Amino acid sequence: MIVLTGATGFLGSHLLGKLLSQGYKVIAVVRVNSNFSRINKWLNHPNFRFYNCEEISLRSIFEQNKVDVIVHTATEYGRGNGSISKILDANLILPIRLLELGIEYGVQCFINTDSYFNKAGSTYSNLLNYSLSKKSLLVWLKQFSTQINIINVTLEHMYGPYDSRSKFVESLVQAIAVERISQVNLTHGHQKRDFIYVDDVTDAFVTLIKYGSNHSFTFKNFEVGTGNSLQVRDFSQSVKDLSHSSSALCFGAIEYRSDEIMDSKADVSAMNDLGWTAKVNIEEGLLKIFTLYMVDIDY
């Protein structure tokens, strides 16, 4: 039995579908105002249940079910002037509460989702409060790791269909391939990112769930990406070329942030040792999205 936070979000919904398709039993921890549109098709699945954490105690989940693994994907970025207390509640307080209960009820493993811009030595002023909350959680994860297996997933630049428009790739695809607006303003685009398709990410999580359930350890960090980085400039051009869009890409119209991360890619050696590798290249990933969005690519 897996307890999953963030099941109605982008990564969480994809992971929920993957887990159910592989026969796992999943309990989702949701909130009153959660948008279920991404997971409507699974609401009546026999292996899926959800609990509203604002209406019942988290403890009741563990009292009523034998939980093996907790997977924390719920994230509050604080975009749009989100309150700090809301950020801390989702990114720090909720996982700590689940960790305490997991230890009390004999859960084997806790898996946390982290971001590439929280790597040691990196700062990211655009999402400073988010970064601070996640870095604080990392300290606590190491503290708890003497009592429960802890896996921290450092995730590179994930993309896929039906992500939030606030995310770079989704915004880019909508502007260039779907809406085909005349001009798309971008930075110079020389910063490099390790773009990884969401299906590869969910496969990585399944691999880590199996590993965390069958081995004993304290704290382990796994970086999840393709292991290769690509300039944002080239990625943007691929979106334009593969969709045959006439949108003009205006590189340099937006200045870099003062603390822009100019190159990030995953060290995937630890994941490779577990038998996992990313399979979807950028062209394949974009074409999957275009197909779902009914973008005409047959010119």
Check which CATH number belongs to the domain holding 103 and give it: 3.40.50.720
CA–CA gap between residue 103 and residue 62 (Å, rounded):
11
Which range of residues forms the domain containing residue 92?
2-159+197-226+266-279
For residue 288, being part of any structural domain is answered with no
User: How remote is the C-alpha of 158 from its chain's centroid?
Assistant: 7
Given the residues 130, 159, 197, 211, the one annotated as active site: 130
For residue range 198-219, what is the model confidence (pLDDT) as tens digits? Answer: 999 999 999 999 999 999 999 9
pLDDT of residue 121: 61
For residue 146, being part of any structural domain is answered with yes
For residue 178, being part of any structural domain is answered with no
For residue range 127-144, what is the model confidence (pLDDT) as tens digits? Answer: 777 778 888 899 999 999
How distant, in Å, are the alpha carbons of 5, 75, 82, 95, 149 from that of 101? 14, 20, 28, 10, 14
For residue 211, being part of any structural domain is answered with yes
For residue 293, being part of any structural domain is answered with no
Q: Which residues of the chain have pLDDT under 50?
A: 299
For residue 236, being part of any structural domain is answered with no
pLDDT of residue 299: 42
DSSP letter (8 states) at residue 185 = E
Give the whole-number percent of the chain exceeding pLDDT 90. Answer: 77
pLDDT of residue 117: 78
pLDDT of residue 221: 96
Number of domains into which the chain is organized: 1
CA–CA gap between residue 52 and residue 32 (Å, rounded):
6
Active site (annotated) includes residue 116: no
How distant, in Å, are the alpha carbons of 188, 211, 223 from that of 38? 34, 28, 26
